[in-house]
Amino acid sequence: MIIDPQQKKSDRAYALRRRAGRRARRRMLRNISARGRPGSRRLIALMALAIMGLVIYFLAVDRGGEAVLGHASAVRGDVLSLEGTSYRLAGIAAPTPEMFCRRDGLDYRCGAAARDALAALIDDQPVRCVPGDTRRGGITVARCFVDGRDLAGAMVLAGHALTGETYRNEEIEARAEERGLWSGSFDEDTIRRRLP
C-alpha cells in the first residue's frame, strides 16, 4: 500500500495540533485550580454555611406566623383564648365541656374537669402561642407554652387529653398512673376522632 506523503504529513500536523491543544487545556485547568483552590474552598464553605443557616431558620421559625404573647383563658381542655383569638392546642384532643365520664361508679363532667385543668396550668401567667399553618373549625392550631412548659404535653401527662403520636410517651405514663380520664371510663373513640 502506498501512502501519500502529503496525507501523512497533514495527519501528523493535525495530531500534533490536537496534542498541543490538550496540553494547553490541561495547563489552563491546572493553573485555574492551583490559583482558585483556596478561593473555591472558601466559596464552598460559604455556600455550605448559607445553606445550613437557611435550614436552621426554616426549622426554627414556624411558617404559620409569629408568636403571640399575653394572658389567656381556658375555653375547653384543648382550646384557649389569647388576645381575642382562640387557639387549639396542637397534637391533642380533650373531651368537650358537655361530655360525661365515669369514675368510682359516678358520672362527672370530664370536659369541664379538662378545662379547669388547663386553666390551672395557665394560672394567670403569660402564655406564648406559636400559630401553625392550618385552621380547624375556624380555630387556629398552635403550640402554646407557659414559662417554657408545653401546655399540650402537660394536659396529656395529667391525663385530661389524648394524643396521636406527638405526646405518645406522656399518654402512656398518664394511662399507667391512672391520671385524669384514665382513672375511670370514658368514650375514647369520640375524643380521638377530634384529634387534629
Q: Residue 120 corresponds to which amino acid?
A: A
Rounded-to-integer distance, Cα 62 and Cα 164, Å? 21
Q: Is 159 a residue whose pLDDT tops 70?
A: yes
Rg (CA), the chain: 34
- Locus of grid cell 370536659: 111
- Which class is 68-192 in CATH? mainly beta
Residue pLDDT, tens place only, 56-105: 766 555 444 588 999 999 999 999 999 888 999 999 999 999 999 999 99
pLDDT for res 58: 62
- The answer to whether the pTM exceeds 0.85 is no
C-alpha cell at position 58: 426554616
Per residue in 36-46, pLDDT (tens digit) is: 555 566 777 77
- Write out the three cell numbers for 5: 506523503
* Mean pLDDT, all residues of the chain: 84
Give 3-state DSSP helix, strand, coil % of the chain, rounded to 5: 50, 25, 25
Domain ranges of the chain: 1-61, 68-192
